Amino acid sequence: MPTVAGVARNAGPTQALRQAAPPQPLAEGAFAQALAGALAQGLAEASAEVVAESSTDAESATRAHAKSPGQPVATVRGRAAEHPAAAELQARPEASASVSARHVHGGPDALGVARHDFSTNANACGPCPQAAEAVAQADASHYPDPEYASLIADLSSEIGVYPDRIILGASASECIARLTAAVASRAGPAAPPRVWVPRQAYGDYARAARAWQLPLASQPGQADLVWHCEPASPTGQGVPELAHLDATHPEQVWVLDAAYAPLRLDGHSSLSPARREQVWQLFTPNKALGLTGVRAAYLVAPRSALEVGSPAWQLAQRLRALAPSWPVGAHGVAMLKAWLQPEVQQWLQRSLDQLRRWRQMQNAMLQAMGWVLQPSDSPYGVARPPVVPSPAEGGVADAGASELAAMLAFMRARGVKLRDTTSMGLPGWVRLAVRPPADQEALRAAWHAFIAWRPSALAVST
């Protein structure tokens, strides 16, 4: 699929906050409890005195959010709207902690869809009109072809690989779980297979390993299953070490998660075409299309999977055997077919140009607010708000974690959601997708409201 090389990387962090380091992870369920407190106790009401200082656009957006049907979280003149989830979370914080420990993601939560959602990596220009129309026209009254012959033929032709190398999945997460299960199932009486995941990574890699009680390896060379994602999540950065990977051991399974490759704004893949032929590749276009609610993905097996009896061929057979019937529904099939259409790819290229412009605006705003940014090749990245101390500042990590949880809960109550990256191996930081100017202004207003209501939060890092 096409990717685009583009403009320079983000500017560096502000001088006063240049030394960045993560604090200790938040206590399990801390955000859920802080969010409950933010809603039940009305933190937004405490900032009523600064609401008038917010921009007219942000205030109008807040009022509109309160009136919008299907939007359960609202702030009207600084007062948090009541929501049943708030009482539930406060009454049973242990339940919310358990849920968050199992599934930690951006996007909708128990409070619904945030009006200004920076927490997912979906293309902010989406949904792609042509793809959305194709999904809307999908025939959900009939089963798809259980062999997906037409879809696999189309993918094979577009990608330029033999059909036998393509394996469909219900989603990227389902493919991660099934690949892990397939590797675990080949274990004999010897030690169980080991899994390596990047230090900062999507939590489902390790989660799938834990489900099969597979130990995590400290180095890729010690693992039977190795995960990489490029551009990486949560940082949005390239992974230069991929250029030197040794994927020649026949029993070792290397997987490149390319979920964000179509959204790359700068740079290029660290893997040469020849090296990509040695690894398993995982693709899902729903993020690039702005259709994250439509679930479908596909794996491309290494070239060696065409050799009958080879380890890659055997793994491909296990993957197919582990798949349920019809893993991809009619809407997923429609999305994957639309993804291959020239007009959809043209829309994607235009959206990348827009995302570059919005990224420049958003980074400038965050830096002006004193947030530390890491460079990113993608329309998402990580930032450290100045409520979290760096080692050079000698702050207390627990205090920084507490203030971060309070900030996230306060913003969520105002309809602005960010993604805490603790579960992704980067405590003390948040992931933000690039969003349109109106969302950026809402984030700016929420930040200034928070520090006006809780000025002591900044004392952690000053």
Could you please report the per-residue DSSP string of 197-250? --SS--THHHHHHHHTTPPBPSSGGG-SEEEEESS-TTT----GGGGG-----T
Q: Do residue 154 and residue 303 come from a single domain?
A: yes
Q: Do residue 135 and residue 82 come from a single domain?
A: no
What is the rounded average pLDDT of the residues 82-100?
A: 44
Could you tell me the CA-to-CA distances from 261 to 127, 232, 460 in Å, in that order? 18, 9, 37
Question: Does 9 map to a domain?
Answer: no
Q: Which residues contact 147 (CB under 8 A, 6 or more apart)?
A: none
What is the rounded average pLDDT of the residues 345-371?
A: 98
Q: How far apart are CA 183 and CA 209, in angstroms?
A: 10
Which CATH number does the domain housing residue 115 bear?
3.90.1150.10
Beta-carbon neighbour count of residue 7 at 10 Å? 12
| 188-199 pLDDT, tens digit each | 657 899 999 999
Helix (H) or strand (E) holding 299: strand 297-300
Q: Do residue 229 and residue 252 come from a single domain?
A: yes
CA Rg value for the chain: 23
Question: Does 347 map to a domain?
Answer: no
Q: Do residue 24 and residue 49 come from a single domain?
A: yes
More reliable by pLDDT, 455 or 24: 455
The residue segments making up the domain with residue 294 are: 129-340
Q: Do residue 115 and residue 136 come from a single domain?
A: no
Beta-carbon neighbour count of residue 446 at 10 Å? 25
Q: Do residue 229 and residue 276 come from a single domain?
A: yes
Q: Do residue 74 and residue 223 come from a single domain?
A: no
* Total tally of structural domains belonging to the chain: 2
Question: Does 401 map to a domain?
Answer: yes
Q: How many CA atoms lie within 13 A of 108 on its CB side?
A: 8
Question: Does 316 map to a domain?
Answer: yes
More reliable by pLDDT, 346 or 97: 346
Which residue is it, tokens 């942000």? 58
Q: Does residue 462 have a pLDDT over 70?
A: no
Question: Does 403 map to a domain?
Answer: yes
Structure tokens at 436: 């349109």
Q: Do residue 34 and residue 103 come from a single domain?
A: yes
Q: How far apart are CA 460 and CA 37, in angstroms?
A: 21
Question: Does 289 map to a domain?
Answer: yes
Q: Which residues contact 104 (CB under 8 A, 6 or more apart)?
A: 203, 423
Average of per-residue pLDDT values in the chain: 80
| 11-46 pLDDT, tens digit each | 332 222 223 333 333 343 454 555 555 444 444 333
What is the rounded average pLDDT of the residues 99-109?
A: 68
| 415-453 pLDDT, tens digit each | 999 999 988 888 899 999 999 999 999 999 999 999 999
Global pTM exceeds 0.85:
no
Q: Do residue 111 and residue 209 come from a single domain?
A: no
Q: Which residues contact 434 (CB under 8 A, 6 or more apart)?
A: 124, 355, 358, 359, 362, 379, 380
| 336-354 pLDDT, tens digit each | 999 999 999 999 999 999 9
Question: Does 440 map to a domain?
Answer: yes
Q: Do residue 219 and residue 259 come from a single domain?
A: yes
Q: How far apart are CA 329 and CA 146, in angstroms?
A: 10
Q: How far apart are CA 297 and CA 339, in angstroms?
A: 11
% of the chain beyond a pLDDT of 70: 73
Which CATH number does the domain housing residue 306 bear?
3.40.640.10
